[in-house]
Amino acid sequence: MARRKSKKKQQQESANAIGGLIIFGGIGFSYFAKSIAVGVVAVILGIIVFALISYSINQARINKLRRSGIAEIDKMTGDQFEHYLGQLFHLQGYNAKVTQSQGDYGADLVLNKDGKRIVVQAKRYSKNVGLKAVQEVYGAIAHYKASAGWVVTNSRYTPQARTLARSNNVRLVDREELVEMILRVKESKKIG
């Protein structure tokens, strides 16, 4: 099975491809215009346009992260993160209950909505979340008589955690999806 490329690697490959297009475009301009100076100017203009577009995309990404409040989440304790998620899911129509800190049987939250029960393992980490979180929430599904198990983190997951989650139908909510969820809730509260 092929490994999924990280966003950073995908962005680097895209930047390399665009850089190659700019250079070949400049060579093409130079060839057709029969002037090296025209090719050099085309390459310089291409680089400037690429830099402006990259800057704009990066600023939009930074603004999105600011609006989501993910930097504040990164500073929370594990308990604070669990309660934050409880409120976030409540705002999405779930009846959310934060379980006791000790002896939670693998679930930090229990969500109920439309007759379905979901157990959630919350991981406020600075590193990637591994297999243990998936194993814990999978075990909690039977204990809480839940129909599904989710692991929600402010970080990302190891490839092994992704593989185990996929084979056990455990939903993984990573940093990017959490940011999107927060922004959707914030936007719906503005409009509604």
Longest dimension (CA), the chain: 76
Q: Judge whether 155 and 126 are in contact, CB under 8 Å.
A: yes
Query: pTM for the full model?
Result: 0.73
Confidence of residue 191 (pLDDT cuts 50, 70, 90): very low
Q: Pick one of 3.20.20.20, 1.10.600.10, 3.40.1350.10, 3.90.1150.10 as the CATH number of 77-191.
A: 3.40.1350.10
Q: Judge whether 89 and 97 are in contact, CB under 8 Å.
A: no
Lowest mean pLDDT among 30-34, 122-126, 159-163: 30-34
Mean pLDDT of the 121-127 span:
95
The CATH 3.40.1350.10 domain(s) of the chain lie at 77-191
Give the number of other Cβ atoms within 10 Å of residue 146's Cβ: 20
Q: In this structure, which amino acid lies at residue 113?
A: K
